[in-house]
Amino acid sequence: MRDAPFAAASRLTGLGTSIFTEMSALAERTGSINLGQGFPDEDGPPEVLRAAIEAIEAGHNQYAPLPGVPPLREAIAAHQRSRYGLEHEDVQVTFGATEAISAGLLGLCDPGDEVIALDPFYDSYRAGAAFAGARLVGVPLQPPKWRFDPAGLAAAVTERTRMLLLNTPHNPTGRVLDRTELEAIAAVCVKHDLVAISDEVYEHLVFDGEHVPLATLPGMAERTLTVSSIGKTFSVTGWKTGWACGPAELVAALRGAKQFMTFAGGTPLQHAAAAALAIAEEHGARLAAELEAKRDRLCDGLERAGAEVLRPAGTYFVNADVRPLGYDDGVVFCRELPERAGVVAIPTSVFCADPGRVRSLVRFAFCKREAVIDEAAARLGRLRCPT
Ligand SMILES: Cc1ncc(COP(=O)(O)O)c(C=O)c1O
């Protein structure tokens, strides 16, 4: 066995991966409240959980067809049609949005291609691009409002640019892009004949404004793969059941890669996801209202603690500037926070290709029970007056 680290493996794992592991270990060792990881501490709706059990008992336990089980593909198509008026040519079920994104990158990008993404970006994007031999090019979202410069986006396009990989509502910033911004993105895609993958996993978790799918903009339906999953909307992140839908040619490219990544599975969860999507509107609206209240609870707590809060319009993440707490580096703050206050958070810089601009920002998740948020806020409050 070679003793040097495997170059390919270390190329794919950046600071982002190691800090998540480090923070989870710190949370465990110090008994801290973990607001670093973005998953809910409450289960999804009982009828959805029951649907999974019933699917197993009904014998849906073998490989699914490669595109996904028909009831789920139909439920995804119906969701897109009734919620957004979108008629997709094809639908592919995947192991979470993550697999849809990786398979889309693999199926659509050649080695040496460039993929434009808003920076900061969800941590799998860079690895997904690297799998394909492509390079991620960041267009900065500028705090505190998290807007991008349309001229900067246009200038990021080169002759190697193949794809725009969008995420709205956006992790880690909580930004929900508005129509004007989406129009600027669409104009660049159309002008340069780019394909787009639009990651919309937080589509139901919007508090201010509205979620506008990129594919609904003129000229975009024919060049966009819309990606989502049930993890966030139904508080079942561990089910990893997602999808990509769009033009037949783009879905076929993604499917070709997915076929040799994992083929098809999670069959009972696919059936349960179909049942879940039937109640997406009511459940999504209820969850968004609950999360909005939780957002305000945590934001108020962070403000009382002295941090400067960048209140999000969607998702379940809030960023706070910790300079008023005496830290200009979020990484140092996050390493000390568990010992000092018994809370774990994640430095926003780990989501950035260009970390300097967000150095003093820290991301907190508020998809936790109210009592947990209140306890975290109380602990953070003690940062100001150390005993
Ligand atoms: C922006 C974004 N995309 C994709 C995912 C992953 O989705 P899934 O669990 O369905 O793979 C996440 C999860 O945190 C996310 O924040």
Tokens of 83: 């919620």
- Distance (Å, whole) CA 192 – CA 324: 43
Cα separation, 294 vs 316, in Å, equals: 9
- What is the rounded CA–CA span in Å between residue 122 and residue 168? 11
Strands 242-246 and 343-344: unpaired
pLDDT at position 18 is 75
Q: What is the pLDDT, as a whole number, of residue 8?
A: 64
Q: What is the pLDDT of residue 387?
A: 43
Residue 273 CA to ligand 1 center (angstroms) comes to 16
Pocket of ligand 1, candidates 37, 168, 171, 366: which has the most ligand atoms within 8 Å of its Cβ, to mutate?
171
CA 57 to CA 87: how far, in whole Å? Answer: 33
Ligand 1 binding pocket (C-beta < 6 A) is: 38, 96-98, 122, 167, 171, 199, 201, 229, 231, 237, 240, 242
What pLDDT is attached to residue 2?
A: 59
Q: Alpha-carbon distance 341 to 326, whole Å?
A: 14
Q: Return the best residue to mutate from 201, 237, 243, 366 for the ligand 1 pocket (most ligand atoms within 8 A of CB).
A: 201
pLDDT for 21 equals 85
CA–CA separation, 133 vs 349, rounded Å?
24
Whose CA is closest to atom 16 on ligand 1? 171
The 8 Å CB, 24+ separation contacts for 335-338 are 335/22, 335/26, 337/32, 338/23, 338/26, 338/27, 338/29, 338/30, 338/32
H or E element at residue 36: none
Query: Going edge to edge, which strands form the sheet with 242-246?
Result: 90-94, 242-246, 224-229, 195-199, 161-167, 114-119, 135-140
Predicted TM-score (pTM) above 0.75: yes
Tokens of 369: 């029970």
Residue ranges in the chain whose pLDDT is less than 50: 15, 386-387
Predicted local confidence at residue 15, as pLDDT = 46
- Residue 306 Cα, ligand 1 centroid: separation in angstroms? 30
Beta pairing partners, 243: 93, 228
Q: How far apart are CA 153 and CA 271, in angstroms?
A: 40
User: Which residues are bridge partners to 320 per DSSP?
Assistant: 309, 362
Q: What is the pLDDT of residue 12?
A: 63
Cα–Cα distance list, 164 to 118, 160, 185, 353, 369 (Å): 9, 12, 9, 16, 36
Per the CB < 8 A criterion, the answer to whether 334 and 23 are in contact is yes
Q: Cα of 29 to ligand 1 centre, how many Å? A: 27
CA of 323 to the centre of ligand 1 (A): 29
- Mutation test of ligand 1: which of 118, 121, 122, 363 has the most ligand atoms closer than 8 Å to its C-beta? 122
Query: Tens digits of per-residue pLDDT, 24-43?
Result: 888 889 999 999 988 999 99
pLDDT at 355: 86
Render 258-313 in DSSP notation, one character per residue.
HHHHT-S--HHHHHHHHHHHTTHHHHHHHHHHHHHHHHHHHHHHHHHHTPEEE--S
Residue 17: what pLDDT? Answer: 62
Residue pLDDT, tens place only, 60-101? 999 999 999 999 999 999 999 999 999 999 999 999 999 999
Q: What atom of ligand 1 comes closest to residue 241's alpha carbon?
A: 10
Q: Determine the atom of ligand 1 nearest the C-alpha atom of 167.
A: 1
For atom 10 of ligand 1, which residue has the closest CA?
Answer: 96
